[in-house]
Amino acid sequence: MNAILPFQEIQGRYAGEWVLLGDPETDSDLNVIAGRVLAHSASREEVYRQLMLVEGNSVAIEYAGPLPADLAVVL
């Protein structure tokens, strides 16, 4: 089983990739501060495919880098 890593370390390891995190830890503003890397890919679609395989876990999907210019974020 993968260890829970701080999000800063995840950003360093997987820069420019989408990351599926299990057991995410968040701050009071719900920003991810740590998690267990379940999948990562430069392809967002691939990470969402991996999400379909995760059952019964708390998860988060984050981009490890500056958001692409062509990406819109809805809060």
In a domain, residue 68? The reply is no
Q: What is the pLDDT of residues 16-46, one digit of tens each?
A: 999 999 999 999 999 999 999 999 999 999 9
In a domain, residue 12? The reply is yes
Considering its fold, how many domains does the chain have in total? 1
Closest CA relative to residue 17, chosen from 49, 39, 41, 45: 41
In a domain, residue 72? The reply is no
pTM of the model: 0.86
Do 20 and 59 touch, CB atoms closer than 8 A? Answer: yes
Print the domain residue range for 15.
4-63
Write the CB contacts of 2 (distance below 8 Å, at least 6 apart in sequence).
Answer: 22, 36, 37, 38
In a domain, residue 54? The reply is yes
In a domain, residue 26? The reply is yes
In a domain, residue 28? The reply is yes
Residue at 21: amino acid letter: L
> Which run of H or of E encompasses 65?
none
